[in-house]
């Protein structure tokens, strides 16, 4: 996915519990957590503690929560807060929306305290796929032909110099970085757009075609992807905990928003 995100800046965030405290004491807390609770209940969480853990996994740096996919965050920030809370409470009590909201807030207060004592540094990046990269490529015939020719170098041909349409996806993946797209399989929403584009140009019926027709099909696929993304841009974000000290980190840190 790095190829699709390489042009996007990385912001260094210092997660120190302040944003989390503001969230749990702010006006949007109950509405957002009720929505999360309803999602969790459909996931068949079996205990109040499971609900709390799952809820933290659904929160983001925008809420002041570092990535819960990071083992250090779990073992040093989340688990100690859960342990402290469970020592004083009946974790097996019946799960309801009311008990969840009350319990989560108590654990979140402990998490915020842990973050104040052990701030977490997070590298945050955002990327929006709006079709502009494809538009630039399609408007430059020289660059388009160059990208397609490079991508077609390894596509096998039969005795009549024809190639199978089954290689369209493989060729698209080679062209993707030049079109400002992530690798196939890296972003689920983009994969759906690609699949729709293949259906629109009837590219899923494998047959042998000449090189010119192969290029024409690929160009049509790119055009279809571009139109879909122009109409409905797809934004994604990436967050990674920084475990190594940053050189002159004090000048790089920016508070999360």
Residue 180 pLDDT class (50, 70, 90 cuts) = very high
Mean pLDDT of 244-255: 42
pLDDT value, residue 27 = 94
> Checking DSSP bridges between strand 162-164 and strand 234-241, what pairing results, if any?
unpaired
Tell me the two tokens of residue 81. Answer: 């807060």
Instruction: Say which residue, 248 or 76, is predicted with more confidence.
Output: 76
Residue 253 pLDDT class (50, 70, 90 cuts) = very low
Interacting residues of 172 by C-beta distance below 8 A, sequence separation 6+: 184, 194, 218, 221, 222
Interacting residues of 90 by C-beta distance below 8 A, sequence separation 6+: none
As a whole number of angstroms, the distance between CA 184 and CA 168 comes to 12
pLDDT of 4 above 50: no
Q: Which residue has the tokens 């309801």?
A: 96
| Contact yes or no for 226/134 (Cβ under 8 A) | yes
Residue 2 pLDDT class (50, 70, 90 cuts) = very low
pLDDT of 1 above 50: no
Listed residue (63, 98, 57, 58) closest to 78, CA to CA: 57
As a whole number of angstroms, the distance between CA 230 and CA 237 comes to 19
Residue 14 pLDDT class (50, 70, 90 cuts) = very high
pLDDT value, residue 6 = 46
Beta strands in 5-161 (DSSP E): 10-15, 120-129
Would you put residue 194 in left (φ > 0), alpha (ψ -120 to 50) or beta? Answer: alpha
Residue 206 pLDDT class (50, 70, 90 cuts) = confident
pLDDT value, residue 95 = 81
Instruction: Say which residue, 114 or 238, is predicted with more confidence.
Output: 114
As a whole number of angstroms, the distance between CA 16 and CA 20 comes to 8
Q: 188: exposed, middle or buried (C-beta count within 10 Å: 0-12, 13-18, 19+)?
A: exposed
Mean pLDDT of 142-163: 90
* pLDDT tens-place string over residues 64-119: 999 999 999 999 999 999 998 886 665 566 688 998 999 999 999 999 999 999 99
pLDDT value, residue 204 = 65
**Distances, alpha carbon 109 to alpha carbons 64, 65, 116, 229, in Å:** 12, 12, 11, 40
pLDDT of 134 above 70: yes
pLDDT value, residue 91 = 57
């Amino acid at each position: 996915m790095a190829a699709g995100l390489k042009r996007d800046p990385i912001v260094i965030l210092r997660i120190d519990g302040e944003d989390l405290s503001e969230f749990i004491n702010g006006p949007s807390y109950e509405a957002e957590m009720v929505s999360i609770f309803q999602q969790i209940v459909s996931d068949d969480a079996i205990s109040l503690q499971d609900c709390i853990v799952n809820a933290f996994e659904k929160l983001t740096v925008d809420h002041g929560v570092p990535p819960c996919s990071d083992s250090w965050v779990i073992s040093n920030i989340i688990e100690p807060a859960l342990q402290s809370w469970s020592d004083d409470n009946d974790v097996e009590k019946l799960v309801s929306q009311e008990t969840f909201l009350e319990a989560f807030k108590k654990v979140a207060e402990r998490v915020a305290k842990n973050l104040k004592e052990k701030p977490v540094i997070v590298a945050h990046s955002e990327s929006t796929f709006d079709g502009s990269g494809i538009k630039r490529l399609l408007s430059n015939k020289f660059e388009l032909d160059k990208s397609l020719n490079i991508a077609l170098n390894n596509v096998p041909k039969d005795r009549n110099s024809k190639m199978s349409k089954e290689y369209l996806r493989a060729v698209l993946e080679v062209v993707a970085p030049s079109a400002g797209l992530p690798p196939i399989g890296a972003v689920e929403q983009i994969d759906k757009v690609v699949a729709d584009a293949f259906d629109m140009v009837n590219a899923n019926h494998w047959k042998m075609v000449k090189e010119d027709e192969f290029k024409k099909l690929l160009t049509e696929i790119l055009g279809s992807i571009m139109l879909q993304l122009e109409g409905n841009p797809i934004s994604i974000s990436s967050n990674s905990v920084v475990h190594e000290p940053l050189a002159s980190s004090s000048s790089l840190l920016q508070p999360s928003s």
